[in-house]
Copies of this chain bind each other. A is one copy, B any other.
Amino acid sequence: MTAKKAFIIFSLCIIHLTTFGQSKVEQWKRFEMTFNQTFSGNAFTDVQLQATFSSSDTTYIIKGFYDGNHTFKIRFMPPKLGVWNYTVQSNLEKLHNKKGSFECVKAISGNHGTVKVANTYDFRYADGKPYYPFGTTAYAWTHMSKAIQEETLNSLKKAGFNKIRMCVFPKNYDLVREEPELYPFEVKKIEKDTKGNEVRIWDFEKFNPAFFQHLEKRVADLDALGIEADLILFHPYDKGRWGFDAMPNEVNVRYLEYMLARLGSYKNVWWSLANEWDYLKSKTVKDWDLFAETMAQKDPYKHLCSIHGASSTYYNYFKPEFSHVSIQDEIPVGNPSAAGLLRNIYHKPIISDEVGYEGNLKSRWGRYSPEEMNHLVWNGVIAGTYVTHGECYMFKDKTDIIFWGKGGTFRGESWKRTPFIRKIVEECPNSLQLSDIGRDNVTATAGDGYYIIYFGKQMNDSWFFNLPAKNGSYKKLSAGKKFKVEIIDTWEMKIQEVPLVFETAKENDYRLFDKDLQKIRLPLKPYIALRITEIK
């Protein structure tokens, strides 16, 4: 390249940098280029727009999108530090071949990057920090009034959740009937049905950018709170009201691609293909497979992706498109062994994304006591799986702001326990797993010399110090190890250290007791746990 040519390219870069995007972007945050450009056709379907981003040996091809108002955008989440050069490709001549560069700089505190699968059963942020999902549920919160949305964010700020399950499309369900302010598609016309109700006829070839801008704002709000947005892409709670559950696959795939182009660069996004996929009678397993393949192939960042069925409906989670298992079932959290069983079957992270909810509904899925909700979370967590919270309190009537559906304010008790269990899990040197699955249903290990025992509903007045010889995937426990024991009341959120030192005797019938058979007093209450850590 001649010096002159290089100079021209350099100058162009400078111009483009100032014109189209930022010059510096934090790692895993968003570089965004904006182009104002008139286009006479359908800018959603007829414009091809993408950019190639390169930095040393890494290249990403990133799709752009039309954002309405003669505005086109390309968003990119830089996964690596350093200078990124880009070139635009488009059938819009004025945009084609535009080039530029920006610098990806070190993330500042609170930005740990995208969450990925780690060590088969767990998750980790891109910067290496472990991520243990403690989620809650508010399916349609972004479709409520602005006031409720703000209230929801305030509630989440006070709670300890780091994931939320939420629907992209509005919800039409017995307890959630609110008409949303924004729709994902442009309205072609409004007709009246035989009952005189307004029926919107959508132009499925035109998205409504305002809908997605709003969703993005909420996803960014969650990110600011350190909460992952588990975005449910389809759901069955439409029942003919808007028809978003029964669009042709051409529209479905275009919608998924639009979501990817717009929201793929949001680091806290997860894709949940569906809630209760099997209730979506308009779609077959082949359709879901198509959507899974679409997301897996077209998401340049490979965000976490799963699919969620109705109770006890298991998809084929062995498919490589699914990063983790996202189930609705009470059985695996019935006891830690059953939860751990799922790890052994799938060899992927297991999230029980619905096990029923704390609440006072008539429906049995929405009337667990707070103690039961907390207990089910513990049962799953002890086994190295993850359990999503939800609450359904209705005090007046069906218009109540129930958090599970609409967000708002938590009314229950179990949500308050989230920071407590989360801290216990996050303080572990490694993620938890059952020490001796199938034979010991209470003891979890987090590595050499670090155990959590959860007695669940057992009420014990004392406990002989004893641990299984088998220690999960770690090396067997041996004699002569010294331990301290803390008694954890998982309901009262209290931790009390036992003023004794225990020392393992040699293995006796698969277990190691204290050499002097020391025992401790327990409070004869349910939901008691022990933290047992080696004194080195």
Contacts and interface: CB of A to CB of B under 8 A. Distances in A.
Interface of A: 311-314, 316, 318, 329-332, 334-335, 337-338, 340-342, 344-345, 364, 437-439, 509-510
Contact of A331 (B311, B330, B338): B338
A313 B318 CA distance: 15
Contacts of A344: 312-314, 329
A335 B334 CA distance: 10
A325 to B, nearest CB: 10
Nearest to A336: B331
A340 B345 contact: no
Q: Is the interface of A mostly helix, strand, loop or mixed?
A: loop
A334 B331 contact: no
Contacts of A364: 439, 509-510
Highest count of chain B CB atoms <10 Å: which of A344, A345, A510: A345
A316 B320 CA distance: 13
A312 B439 contact: no
Contacts of A338: 331, 334-335, 337-338, 341
B335 A340 contact: no
A254 B72 CA distance: 63
Contacts of A334: 335, 337-338
Contacts of A437: 312, 331
Contacts of A311: 438
A441 to B, nearest CB: 8
Most buried by B among A330, A334, A509: A334
Contacts of A316: 318
Given A316-B318, A341-B341, 10 more contacts: A313-B344, A314-B345, A318-B318, A331-B337, A331-B338, A331-B437, A332-B341, A338-B338, A342-B345, A364-B439
A8 to B, nearest CB: 54
Given A312-B344, A341-B312, A438 B329 contact: yes
A105 B311 CA distance: 49
A116 to B, nearest CB: 22
A168 to B, nearest CB: 27
A361 to B, nearest CB: 12
Contacts of A337: 331, 334, 338
Contact of A330 (B314, B335, B345, B438): B438
Contacts of A439: 330, 364
A344 B334 CA distance: 16
Contacts of A510: 364
Contacts of A332: 341
A322 to B, nearest CB: 12
14 contacts: A312-B437, A313-B344, A329-B344, A329-B438, A330-B439, A331-B338, A331-B340, A331-B341, A331-B438, A332-B341, A334-B337, A341-B341, A345-B345, A364-B439
Contacts of A331: 337-338, 340-341, 437-438
